Amino acid sequence: MRKNVFPVGTFKNKTVMKHTEDSIRAVKKSLAEMWVLVQGQVEKAVQALLTGNAELAHEVIGREKLVDSYELAIDRECENFFALLNPVAVDLRMMLSIIKINNNLERIGDFAEGIASFAARHPGVGVDQQLQEKLRLREMTETALEMLNLCKTALAREDGKTAGKVFLRDDTLDRIHGDSVDILAGYIREHPNAARECLLLHSAIRRIERIGDRCSNIAEDIVFYLEARVLKHSALSEGAVGGTENGKE
């Protein structure tokens, strides 16, 4: 957007739209709270997965309902905003983005619950340390959390560049997920008794990879809001940085 169409000081009568600004602040606040909650869910879920901490896992599962209620509340706030304030231009793009981000965050919450359910069903059985290292599980979970955090920062600071960093990291997740099939197959050959756990572990890894996909979606939504550019299904967010050969759900 071109700025400074008029000399500085031209907009003496620039007004603040109190109702609009208050509503924007309120919905952004709800979204930020939900974000903190979902981040906590993912952190605890992967922790429970790696260490077999069933108590932590049950905590995640119990708090999933809270994530759902945030989603419903934010949806309602957005609905009211559209109905009462007729947003256009940047306000319109922001509200459209928030609706989508809200939905993506809720799905990330679901994935956290899914990951936690692995630990809940196998109390005390953390993932074998050597296998963890081979699978690069720690790197994978840290990357997913970093992506979630980058998105949060990008939105809070209204910074499209930070959002752009998310796409590269999604590639890392895709690679780790892609490699995991062979690694787990090899492990099963050596430890046939662990086949069931390995299958469940693979489904947890898949969920972490999905969290990455959802973060990429959120980053696309943020760029749309800030720069009015549509990155969805474009080379910039998919192909150019390696593509998502494993597809999305």
Of 6 and 189, which has the nearer Cβ to another protein? 6
- In the complex, the smallest distance separating the C-beta of residue 19 from another protein, rounded to whole angstroms, is 10
Nearest CA-CA partner of 145 in 81, 191, 208, 91: 208
Query: By CB under 8 A, what part of segment 46-65 binds another protein?
Result: none
Q: Show contacts with another protein in window 192-231 (CB under 8 A).
A: 228
Nearer to another protein, 159 or 171 (CB): 159
Binding mask 83-122 toward another protein (x if CB under 8 A, else -) reads ---xxxxxxxx-----------------------------
Which of 1/192 has CB closer to another protein?
A: 1
Report the nearest approach of another protein to the CB of residue 163 (Å).
Answer: 17
Q: Which stretch binds another protein (CB under 8 A): 10-18, 41-49, 172-180, 204-212?
A: 10-18
The token pair at 5 is 């169409």
DSSP secondary structure letters along 90-158? HHHHHHHHHHHHHHHHHHHHHHHHHHHHHHHHSTT----HHHHHHHTHHHHHHHHHHHHHHHHHHHHHT
Alpha carbon distances (Å) from 207 to 108, 150, 213, 244 = 9, 19, 10, 14
Among 8, 9, 11, 124, binds another protein (CB under 8 A): 11
- Binding span for another protein by CB under 8 A among 2-10, 33-41, 48-56, 66-74: 2-10
Nearest approach in angstroms of CB 146 to another protein is: 30
Nearer to another protein, 147 or 163 (CB): 163
Binding span for another protein by CB under 8 A among 8-16, 98-106, 131-139, 142-150: 8-16
The first and second tokens of residue 184, run together, are: 């787990």
Tell me the Cα Rg of the chain: 21
- Minimum distance of another protein from residue 219's CB (angstroms): 19
Question: Three-state SS across 53-82?
Answer: CHHHHHHHHHHHHHHHHHHHHHHHHHHHHH
DSSP-based three-state secondary structure for 231: coil
Q: What are phi and psi of 22, to 5 degrees?
A: -65, -45
Binding site for another protein (CB under 8 A): 1-6, 10-11, 13-17, 20, 86-93, 228
